[in-house]
Amino acid sequence: MAEAQSGTGQLQEQKKGLLIAVSASVDKIISHFGAARNLVQKAQLGDSRLSPDVGHLVLTTLCPALHALVADGLKPFRKDLITGQRRSSPWSVVEASVKPGSSTRSLGTLYSQVSRLAPLSSSRSRFHAFILGLLNTKQLELWFSSLQEDAGLLSLLYLPTGFFSLARGGCPSLSTELLLLLQPLSVLTFHLDLLFEHHHHLPLGPPQAPAPPGPPPALQQTMQAMLHFGGRLAQSLRGTSKEAASDPSDSPNLPTPGSWWEQLTQASRVYASGGTEGFPLSRWAPGRHGTAAQEGAQERP
């Protein structure tokens, strides 16, 4: 008996973490409305079209916290008349919990409205839209209360260690605390776009890591750049003239004609030898003009 109570106490402490996340999200939403000075400003702060921050706040804090709470202890599959079994999700809990009746007619209407929203292709996005609709109609607390009161549905969908199973059985304080945490949201006025997540392209999961930087330039591109540079350098040093082509058989060890190395070799040979071949203007040397004058004087009679 003592061991059973100890195990239940440990489970209860684990479920407290789910309630802490809900409490933190509710506090952030209340803080958002705290900036209003009158009822008009408070209504504007609750409208996701006029104040997109409230939509981001609900979808990034409250919806994930409630999704984790509803998914806790959920059986992996549930029986289905057509496919035999279906994978369970918080949205399947919504589908199973909405039944015809006077007390839940508005919940059924909201469920039908969300189900007809074609852009919501995933069960998670539909569950988020359902939570937004519950806030708009001030029925968030009502839905969780009706869900916890349906013992047959809880036994069908949840394992004995799930949050709602424990709240229904040995830990009723979990249910009471959850409803107390959600009560402040019922006095706030929300006008949230059910397709807010779709319109603003909010990610459903954790952000992806940025792509790694691309590789350095390929070796082939580097060689092409060197060839281009060698060709331009050779042309600038040789001018417009062309050197006579040599027979490849006479010098088998010479570079391949037309290659970038051959062009650089020829260019460096012209520059280092100081020759005038290939240049339109003769090179200037000291004393050259004096020698030419003496030769001209000797030739005169």
Choice between 244 and 9, residue whose per-residue pLDDT is larger: 9
With cut-offs at 50, 70 and 90, classify the pLDDT of residue 219: low
With cut-offs at 50, 70 and 90, classify the pLDDT of residue 210: very low
Q: Residue 128: helix, strand or coil by DSSP? A: helix
Most confident of 84-93, 169-178, 179-188, 233-242: 179-188
**pLDDT reading at 102 higher than 90:** no
Q: How far apart are CA 198 and CA 103, in angstroms?
A: 30
Expressed in percent and rounded to 5, the helix, strand and coil fractions of the chain are 60, 5, 35
**pLDDT reading at 256 higher than 70:** no
* CATH number assigned to the domain with residue range 7-200, chosen from the 4 options 3.40.220.10, 1.10.3720.10, 3.40.50.1370, 1.20.58.900: 1.20.58.900
Q: What is the pLDDT of residues 133-148, one digit of tens each?
A: 999 999 999 999 999 9
| Predicted local confidence at residue 77, as pLDDT | 85
| Predicted local confidence at residue 131, as pLDDT | 98
Question: Of 160, 170, 158, nearest to 1 (Cα)?
Answer: 170
| Predicted local confidence at residue 139, as pLDDT | 95
Give the residue-averaged pLDDT of 196-209: 67
